[in-house]
């Protein structure tokens, strides 16, 4: 048996148990929360930034309307959203990931959950949310947007509101998608209809609350991967 085969026998079956444990622990905790909104955005956003303040305001208003706020649990926009949710006396969930640089849990989460695997964490973002807000950010934010809109497009999750917060930041990306993806037919004419663009935290909250009212009471809100 080569070294790779020996390594599989020694390590991979145990890795499967670790993956299962992450799903079991996170599902058990998140299944008890009220309908949630996930807020994505840059971990490097300074606290004095307009976007930091907007994320805090948005999360506080969501919490006041009995919506749980979920973030990646780190600094920047994640910290702002968790802070707003905590100040709004709501559940402030942080799905923190172990990284060698940059990512450290913020002190505003009152429901902290820790992950080793990115894919387990990403499932939890999608599974327990009824709307998603994408603040300005980097590759991670783009990755989450692409994944969530793909899940909507392929009908793996309902057509939840996908809110791109920051018109100046996102408008160029939307123009590119329309010109280089819709026009040649790589995506459908209506695949971007679920996306909403805003600069106003209160408008974002209204979009989410309107969707919640449209689909029914909190306990009947359709969840992802049900």
Q: What is the CATH number of the domain that holds 96?
A: 3.40.50.450
Tell whether 86 is covered by a domain.
Answer: yes
Measured CA to CA, the distance from residue 150 to residue 195 in angstroms comes to: 12
Q: Is residue 88 one of the residues assigned to a domain?
A: yes
CB contact at 8 A, 87 and 109:
no
Count of domains forming the chain: 1
* Residue 141 CA: distances (Å) to CA of 71, 87, 88, 114, 175: 11, 24, 25, 19, 18
Buried-exposed string 27-60: b where 16+ CB fall within 10 A, e elsewhere:
eeebeebbbbbbbbbbbebeeebebbebbbbbbb
95-138 pLDDT per residue, tens:
998 766 655 678 999 999 989 888 999 999 999 999 999 999 99
Q: Is residue 226 part of a domain?
A: no
- Read off the pLDDT of residues 49-106 as tens digits, 9 standing for 90 and up: 999 999 999 999 999 999 999 999 999 999 999 999 999 999 999 999 876 665 567 8
| SS3 assignment, position 43 | coil
Residue 59 in 3-state DSSP?
A: helix
23: domain range?
Answer: 3-220
Taking every pair of C-alpha atoms in the chain, what is the biggest distance, in angstroms? 62
Query: Using 50, 70 and 90 to split pLDDT, how confident is the model at 13?
Result: confident
Is residue 225 situated within a structural domain? no
Alpha-carbon distance 149 to 159, whole Å? Answer: 9
């Amino acid at each position: 048996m080569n070294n790779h085969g020996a390594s599989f026998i020694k390590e991979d079956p145990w890795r499967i148990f670790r993956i299962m444990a992450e799903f079991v622990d996170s599902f058990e905790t998140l299944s008890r929360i009220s309908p949630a909104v996930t807020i994505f955005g840059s971990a490097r956003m300074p606290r004095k930034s307009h976007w930091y303040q907007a994320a805090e305001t948005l999360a506080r208003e969501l919490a006041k309307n009995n919506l749980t706020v979920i973030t990646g649990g780190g600094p920047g926009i994640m910290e702002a959203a968790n802070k707003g949710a905590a100040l709004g006396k709501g559940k402030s969930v942080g799905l923190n990931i172990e990284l060698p640089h940059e990512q450290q849990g913020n002190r505003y989460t009152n429901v902290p959950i820790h992950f080793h695997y990115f894919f387990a964490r990403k499932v939890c973002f999608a599974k327990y949310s009824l709307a998603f807000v994408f603040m300005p950010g980097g590759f991670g934010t783009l990755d989450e947007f692409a994944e969530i809109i793909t899940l909507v497009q392929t009908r793996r999750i309902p057509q939840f509101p996908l809110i791109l917060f920051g018109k100046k930041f996102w408008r160029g990306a939307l123009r590119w998608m329309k010109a280089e993806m819709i026009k040649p037919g790589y995506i459908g004419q209506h695949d971007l209809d679920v996306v909403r663009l805003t600069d106003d935290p209160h408008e974002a909250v209204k979009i989410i609350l309107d969707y919640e009212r449209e689909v029914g009471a909190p306990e009947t809100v359709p969840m992802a991967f049900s």
